[in-house]
């Protein structure tokens, strides 16, 4: 029987991709499956936390009864849902792959095939995690960084810029890490520490992340 180390705590987790509509049938999205975020939700719930899981489109279903799943589609909807709960949470973990840009105009009818080239104007989406960081009071905030180059520098930059307590780096240059895989390979950074982990199942990566959060937050 596991000890309920997160008993009495509320943990908000963002997961999955966001889809940004182009017209009624098309969208801009990415390869996130939701596996990393759903694994974090299961592990936090097993440790006794009340979990608010806010996920973009994903075929996954939560198992643990302490997980309250809210399904959203776009970055704007994810931000609204996060803000609805933000004041009530103790820990926030942002594992979602949020689209940085969305089409400026969503066509009301299916766009017809016409010219040889076609341009979509994009406009910046809200940065959900940065907004959480700006509003931070008692919350312990954990971000992810998905990088393809200058990984450590970029991750540390995001830790500072988004006012986080911890950041989890995964690199698409590591075999078996990142999107869709059942495995991930991470490095965790806090302001003063760097911890490297081996390639593991996302269930076990979630355990490592929550162990680190507990070591920092519950100390
Ligand atoms: O879902 P899986 O298939 O299991 O894949 C897991 C994952 C690869 C998606 C996950 O491990 C991961 O790395 N998630 C973060 C992906 C990402 O968008 O990273 P980023 O470096 O672009 O963003 C940095 C941080 O800011 C992230 O915590 C992100 O959730 C957050 N963010 C980014 C942009 C934005 N507009 N709002 C945000 O909140």
Residue-wise pLDDT for 8-66, tens only, equals 999 999 999 999 999 999 999 999 999 999 999 999 999 999 999 999 999 999 999 99
What is the predicted pLDDT for the residue at 23? Answer: 98
Q: Is 150 noted as a catalytic residue in this protein? A: no
CB 86 within 8 A of CB 116: no
35 lines ligand 1 (CB under 6 A): yes
Separation between Cα atoms, residue 34 and residue 24, nearest integer Å: 23
Tokens 């759903």 appear where? Answer: 38
C-alpha dihedral sign at 158, 54, 30, 106: negative
The average pLDDT across 117-143 equals 97
Average model confidence (pLDDT) across the chain: 96
44 lines ligand 1 (CB under 6 A): no
By three-state DSSP, how is residue 102 classified? strand
| pLDDT at position 157 over 90 | yes
The average pLDDT across 148-156 equals 96
Nearest CA to ligand 1 atom 26: 129
In CATH terms, the fold of domain 10-106+118-217 is Rossmann fold (3.40.50)
Selection from 5, 8, 108 nearest residue 50 by Cα: 8
| 144 assigned to a ligand binding site | yes
| pLDDT at position 3 over 70 | yes
What is the predicted pLDDT for the residue at 217? Answer: 92
CB 178 within 8 A of CB 144: no
Separation between Cα atoms, residue 178 and residue 6, nearest integer Å: 26
Probe ligand 1: pick from 32, 149, 173, max atoms within 8 Å of CB?
A: 32
ipTM, interface predicted TM-score of the complex: 0.99
How crowded is residue 161: how many other Cβ atoms within 10 Å of its Cβ?
A: 13
How far from 170 is each of 77, 104, 153, 181, 189, CA to CA, in Å? 25, 30, 13, 12, 11
DSSP string, 53-74: EEE-S-S----STTEEEEE--S
């Amino acid at each position: 029987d596991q000890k309920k180390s997160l008993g009495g705590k509320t943990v908000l987790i963002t997961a999955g991709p966001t889809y940004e509509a182009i017209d009624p049938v098309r969208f801009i999205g990415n390869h996130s499956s939701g596996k990393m975020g759903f694994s974090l939700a299961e592990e936090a719930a097993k440790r006794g936390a009340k979990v608010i899981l806010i996920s973009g489109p994903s075929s996954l279903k939560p198992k643990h009864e302490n997980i309250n799943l809210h399904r959203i589609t776009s970055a704007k909807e994810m931000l609204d849902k996060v803000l609805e709960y933000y004041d009530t949470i103790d820990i926030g973990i942002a594992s979602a792959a949020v689209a940085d840009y969305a089409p400026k105009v969503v066509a009301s009818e299916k766009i017809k095939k016409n010219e040889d080239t076609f341009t979509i104007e994009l406009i910046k989406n809200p940065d959900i995690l940065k907004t959480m960081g700006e509003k931070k009071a008692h919350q312990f905030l954990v971000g992810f960084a998905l990088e393809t180059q200058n990984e450590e520098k970029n991750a540390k930059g995001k830790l500072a810029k988004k006012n986080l307590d911890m950041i989890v780096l995964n690199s698409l240059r590591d075999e078996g890490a990142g999107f869709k895989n059942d495995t991930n390979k991470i490095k965790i950074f806090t302001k003063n520490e760097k911890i490297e982990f081996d390639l593991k199942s996302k269930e076990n990566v979630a355990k490592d992340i929550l162990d680190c959060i507990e070591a920092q937050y519950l100390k």
